[in-house]
Amino acid sequence: MGEVFGSGTEAAVKTVHSCSGLKEDGQVGPDTWAYLGTTPSRPAGTDLLGGSLATK
């Protein structure tokens, strides 16, 4: 995953992938968001305050 989450979050993402027929890569990308019927609440590559993860 591009960000640091616990093993429970990664397991949940992989479960969604398995149940939906999506590639089980542990990544929450556009296909995962579409399956969930939502979009991310912040732009990819930013932290919770909107700062770039690339500079951290």
* φ, ψ at 14 (rounded to 5°): -65, -30
pLDDT digits (tens, 9 = 90+) for 33-55: 899 888 777 666 655 555 555 55
**Residue 20: inside a domain, yes or no?**
yes
**Residue 2: inside a domain, yes or no?**
no
**Residue 36: inside a domain, yes or no?**
yes
Q: Under a CB-based contact definition with an 8 Å cutoff, are residues 25 and 17 in contact?
A: yes
- What is the tally of structural domains in the chain? 1
pTM tops 0.85: no
**Residue 34: inside a domain, yes or no?**
yes
- Rounded CA gap, 24 and 29, in Å? 11
pLDDT digits (tens, 9 = 90+) for 1-44: 456 678 888 889 999 999 999 998 888 888 998 998 887 776 66
Q: Look up the domain containing 42 and give its range.
A: 7-55
Residue spans of alpha helices (H) in 1-56: 7-20, 30-36
